[in-house]
Amino acid sequence: MKVYTLKLDIDSKSKRVKSEIAKRMVFLQKFLGNKSFKIKEVETKKGYHIEITFKPKIDLDDKDLVFMQLLLLSDWKRELLNWVRVKNNLKNWNVLFNKKFRMKNGKLKLVSEEVRR
Interface residues toward another protein, by CB under 8 A? 77, 81, 84-85, 87-88, 90, 92, 95-103, 106-108, 110-111
Least distance between another protein and beta carbon 48 (Å)? 16
Least distance between another protein and beta carbon 14 (Å)? 23
The residue among 25 and 74 lying less far from another protein, judged by its C-beta, is 74
The residue among 36 and 88 lying less far from another protein, judged by its C-beta, is 88
Query: Chain centroid to CA 37: how far?
Result: 14
Q: Which amino acid is at 70?
A: L
Least distance between another protein and beta carbon 7 (Å)? 11
Least distance between another protein and beta carbon 50 (Å)? 15
The residue among 46 and 102 lying less far from another protein, judged by its C-beta, is 102
The residue among 45 and 99 lying less far from another protein, judged by its C-beta, is 99
- Length of the chain counted residue by residue: 117
Contact assessment for residue 50 and residue 41, using Cβ atoms and an 8 Å cutoff = yes
Contacts of 3 (CB under 8 A, 6+ apart): 53, 54, 55
Distance between CA atoms of 77 and 69, rounded to whole angstroms? 12
Contact assessment for residue 46 and residue 4, using Cβ atoms and an 8 Å cutoff = no
